[in-house]
Chains A and B, each alone.
With several copies, the nearest count.
Chain A
Amino acid sequence: MKKVKTIDLRVSIAGLELKNPVIAASGTFGYGAEYSGLAEPGDFGAIITKTVTLEPRPGNRPPRICETSCGMLNSIGLANVGFAVFREDKLPALIKKNTVIIANIAGNTIEEYVELAARLNKISDIPALELNISCPNVKLGGIAFGTDPASAAALTKAVRRAYKKTLIVKLSPNVSDIAGIARAVESSGADALSLINTLYGMAVDIKKQRPVLGNITGGLSGPAIKPVALYNLYKVHHSVKIPLIGLGGIMDHRDALEFMITGAAAVQIGTANFVNPSAVKDILSGLAGYCRENDITRIKNLTGILKC
């Protein structure tokens, strides 16, 4: 019998040490407790909590989700309990789990982002922050922070000043030049980047002659967007030096491998949690198997080995 080699699954993202490279994507794993019995926060290298805003938000009118070919649209609308409830009600239970907690935040103004970052800076159980920059910048007339390099840079700089731990910026793919945004954010002090957030999308109910979603448009996720996510990762990997966390349509370990090989230091899974709550476990064992077959002892050595 062949001896089964143990694979070192640990990865480090700008100093943030994760026991494995599979992270729960914001908005798809709630606050960690919902999947009880199906998947545990402790299964993941890290959990990124649902985007939290200063004040609670009710979210968009339903219907909020709809299936498309190999994908889904959502228009949850950043529905969340607000920072106070997040901190008092949601966080205590999650902290007890054996995982790294990354808080994802959003605001309508730079000030709101900075305020949230400053508060999170003081919460020792949360070692990292993911900035959701896909929100409309109300002061700039609703242009998303994430679509303009200058806004993205200004936002990152301001948050950087208020936040001393690991700062991750999550990029939107709905831009002409994601590499430009990535460089702007990198030079403004981001420690790492997550990419990608959802693509803008829409679906029409031809019987009702109305948009399917109550909010008309939504964000596309799932296997349909994987090629776009890989493309963006590839572009950004060649444009910045900070570590990258890849996501978009990862359903199994083969998908995860495509991202790691292309340049991701870790991956996030979003929609996959809905489809298969044990995706995290399946992916981790698949990754270990691949490493064994390919004589790779440390999973971190997979990052960016793409031959072109």
Chain B
Amino acid sequence: MMKKILQIKNAPILFHRKVSSCARHISLSLPAIAGTAEPGQFLHLRISSGSPSPLLRRPFSINDVQGDRVSILYEVKGAGTKLLSKMLPGETLDVIGPLGMGFDIDPQKREHLLVAGGMGLAPMGLLARSLKGMKLKPELLYGCRSSAELVKPGITGCQISSEDGSCGKKGLVTSLLLDRLRICRDPAVYACGPWPMLKAVAGICHKNNIPCQVSLESFMACGVGACQGCVVKNSDGNYVSVCDKGPVFNSRQIDWDQDCVI
């Protein structure tokens, strides 16, 4: 299927709210994108049209799609997300999307484990929705640092862990995963989060011979595979661009020994 990528120069912000101490949820009216977006794909946002700074677009996973609305979940990291956090409903954003290759769902699998670390929760909303649409049951394993940083996932069937024990099980999300795998029959794992977490999740899955897909991050310029700026090394030792060959990869395709590129 030919991907249909669009630039929408004036996507109106419908709502924008704080959903944890560090995360915000922003919903955009994007009828043309809502129809085709798949879980794991992302939007490339130009945060300050008309100003040369910040210059490049910023990539954000599609968090969810409801009717004509596409939402993202994000954390303020630097200049771009800080500016974004000040935008008000009614203002517009210049959006390119949907971009990248999303998660592949194998309907034959019995358990569908969505493993999210921190802002890695972002793509899980639409993934859960898609699984449910296929009559499959998503199970979210979601790790955060503390209850303050916990974002209400809005997904039924969710286990939580926190590094400081302030909510859910104390520890890392990998320990939730290990617990859960012990009683799984034929699971598939979908993971998103920081590189060290993904590396650990991939390691667990490889050892247990479980199919695992990971959503990676990288600095991006074009977002469409033209500039070769966003590459990571794959297990063959070749560089692959995250924006168009990913951001979701089969975890076996990735060279987990490389330095994290972010």
Contact = CB atoms under 8 A, between A and B. Distances in A.
Direct contact between A and B judged by beta carbons closer than 8 A: yes
A5 B46 CA distance: 33
B15 interface: no
Given A36-B5, A65-B219, A276-B94, A30 B226 contact: yes
A40 to B, nearest CB: 12
Contact of B55 (A38, A63, A222, A278): A222
Q: Is the interface of A mostly helix, strand, loop or mixed?
A: loop
Contacts of A58: 238-239
Interface in B182-234: 218-233
Interface string A258-295: 00000000000001011111100000000000000000
A69 B52 contact: yes
B56 A72 contact: yes
A34 B222 contact: yes
B224 to A, nearest CB: 5
A65 B226 contact: no
Interface residues of A, number: 36
B76 interface: no
B227 A62 contact: no
A36 to B, nearest CB: 7
A189 interface: no
Contact of B4 (A37, A63, A76): A37
B246 to A, nearest CB: 13
B96 A74 contact: no
Contacts of A30: 222, 224-227
Interface in A53-82: 58-59, 61-67, 69-72, 74, 76, 79
Given A59-B231, A274-B221, A34 B55 contact: no
A60 to B, nearest CB: 9
A283 to B, nearest CB: 15
B218 to A, nearest CB: 7
Contact of A278 (B3, B5, B7, B226): B7
B6 A59 contact: no
A79 B238 CA distance: 11
Q: Which of B7, B9, B53, B224 has the most CB of A within 10 A?
A: B224
A251 B53 CA distance: 12
B221 A74 contact: yes
Contacts of A36: 2, 5
Contact of B221 (A62, A65, A214, A251): A65
Contacts of A275: 46, 55-57
Interface residues of B, number: 38
A274 B219 CA distance: 13
A62 B231 contact: yes
B219 A66 contact: yes
Contact of A70 (B3, B53, B232): B53
Contacts, number: 109
B52 A65 contact: no
A65 B96 contact: no
B244 interface: yes
Contacts of A64: 219, 228-231
Contacts of A74: 221, 227, 229
A119 B245 CA distance: 31
Contacts of A278: 7, 9
B56 A274 contact: yes
CB-based closest 7 A-B pairs: A30-B226, A65-B229, A34-B226, A223-B52, A274-B221, A37-B5, A62-B261
Given A62-B232, A70-B53, 15 more contacts: A34-B224, A35-B224, A37-B6, A38-B7, A62-B230, A62-B231, A64-B231, A72-B56, A76-B227, A76-B229, A222-B52, A251-B52, A274-B56, A276-B94, A277-B224
18 contacts: A30-B225, A34-B225, A37-B3, A59-B231, A59-B239, A62-B230, A63-B219, A63-B261, A64-B219, A69-B53, A70-B55, A76-B229, A79-B228, A223-B52, A271-B221, A274-B223, A275-B55, A277-B224
